[in-house]
A and B are shown apart, each in its own frame.
Chain A
């Protein structure tokens, strides 16, 4: 789960990370109030869950309070398009008004999980404020990495090693060691999956601040963090994905035309891949899970058909614990409840598949039945091409 910059900074500040003073505003009056309280000059920053906000015109330096109000008026309600939002962009509903600091230098700093080594790791670079992926790809030697030993947790030497590595003065290293300790405590105590400060800045008088911050949380641990779970902003998510999550369906909207419904995440990805190989593009990822039944299949059909780009549907179920006859039951019931106006290809394999295929054939539904994976993908692509002709 993601949160907004202002929420990330509030959380980090609680752990002792120094952040610029700021106030959240949802309308122009609040922008004026916040800017007046903080005192000009200020930054006005669009709050959406995406990076690259500055490039899209969502972050502005404002010399006066009137200028802040003007920018607030422009940014609030705008559709912000950044390299990370996709072409449709995101509507800005809140702006964060913060003090504008004088900046001497920008750094990159993050804490994340090293999967292979099963532990927290710190990544830092003196090349801050830019995309760290770019730095990693072009100049990997400019990235410092240090593990946090899970048996002992954070120790000051980790901070010293990175701090001196970044070229900080002795006094700055002291402050940095504290800041990094706070980040790591935050990561651990909040079950975060990413704590990123980019940029971390120094001011001309040598102070360290988290100028921007990003926190991601482990969805699987939200059950023990009610306060964090409440920060979920449904406006930032695709409405169909939100709807799907209500039914425990794992749905991700993509940009193709073949809707797919599959049991299991790996098979769902493989189904997307084989649709692509057959010459069409998947419209979505959809894992109906291990308990595919009449209700979940009906809901899944409703959700994937409300994507108007879908021109054919491929159902691919490998019955193990899930019984194919129950899935067929679900498809037949769903077809009665939800109007399926596009070609439907169904591939059922595994437990009770023969019986399930017969049920579909006897149902009177217009279903194209396939046995193999390859056959299913070819049939669904042919159905689209036939429809277009």
Chain B
């Protein structure tokens, strides 16, 4: 078991014929992912890397039975691509693109509310169930199949945490980068229930950062609903207020969204919080009593 994706997931790549799309399509296939179609408007009927290309998501879905799509489309056109996939009724949409305007994301979010689509991202590394399915850009080789679920607002910091887990002998059930933007498709609170319900997952690592209230909302949900141990790290304890720390969503504004505040709320909800990013792996081992 795992959450959201497994060996049966059939994936469409929107923007597959671009350089990013091409590169990561190859990498995803190497990781065992069933990439069944590409979508590039105007290139329908061609094949790319041996995979059929369609003009639209709905055509690609109809022809291949795909149930997930990943977007590698430049920021200016990414919302349009996402809205197309939502309109086509794709069950899982992973938007990797960084730099999508917030106004566009407000619209995408509106479309998501009454749709059958769950969207991960944008501005994220994607989702991986090690050894079975990778939809995104993370290095598959640092992952191991196992029992720890990982949720994170970051990219490389997630790799760091996953690497620590693998080194202490803890594999991962599913790892999801939820994205570093202010508005995202799936906040922590929409994915935690999946891990709670997944029999394979024994513990969850939640990596947050400054800005917004996603960690506080997660803490409340965990306190009230979660039976499995949650281990957390919040990046940005040393970040100055009022500055955007790389991610569009990582900003302390009006004195709110600090790491100290988030850690306190998480600890109050019974979550194990690591002050040092180097302690994540060890802390999970400890929480699992190993």
| Given A221-B103, A276-B237, A318-B160, CB of A268 within 8 Å of CB of B276 | no
Which residues from chain A contact B139 at a C-beta distance below 8 Å? Answer: 319-321, 350-351
B210 proximal to A (CB < 8 A): yes
Which residues from chain A contact B155 at a C-beta distance below 8 Å? Answer: 264-267, 290, 320
Contact partner of A220 (CB less than 8 A), chosen from B75, B159, B209, B235, is: B75
B102→A113 contact, CB < 8 A: yes
Number of inter-chain CB pairs below 8 Å: 173
Central interface residue in B104, B212, B214, B238, by most chain A CB within 10 Å: B238
- Complexed CA–CA distance, A120 and B110 (Å): 12
| Given A113-B182, A266-B180, A277-B275, CB of A320 within 8 Å of CB of B76 | no
A389 proximal to B (CB < 8 A): no
Q: Which of A65-73, A90-98, A132-140, A165-173 contacts B (4 or more CB under 8 A)?
A: A132-140
Q: Which of B127-142 contact A (CB under 8 A)?
A: 137-139, 141-142
Which residues from chain B contact A218 at a C-beta distance below 8 Å? Answer: 101-103
Q: Which of A217-234 contact B (CB under 8 A)?
A: 218-221, 223-224
CB-CB contacts of A239-280 with B at 8 A, as 1s and 0s?
000000000001010100000001111111111111111000
Return B71 CB to nearest CB of chain A, in Å: 16
- Complexed CA–CA distance, A273 and B245 (Å): 13
- Complexed CA–CA distance, A287 and B248 (Å): 13
A285 proximal to B (CB < 8 A): yes
B255→A269 contact, CB < 8 A: no
A372 proximal to B (CB < 8 A): yes
Nearest neighbor of B255 in chain A, beta-carbon distance:
A133
Which residues from chain A contact B106 at a C-beta distance below 8 Å? Answer: 113, 118-120, 150
Which residues from chain B contact A349 at a C-beta distance below 8 Å? Answer: 160, 163
Which residues from chain A contact B213 at a C-beta distance below 8 Å? Answer: 115-116
Return B192 CB to nearest CB of chain A, in Å: 15
B250 proximal to A (CB < 8 A): yes
Contact partner of B238 (CB less than 8 A), chosen from A133, A188, A281, A374, is: A281
- Complexed CA–CA distance, A136 and B152 (Å): 29
B102→A220 contact, CB < 8 A: yes
A388 proximal to B (CB < 8 A): no
- Complexed CA–CA distance, A59 and B104 (Å): 38
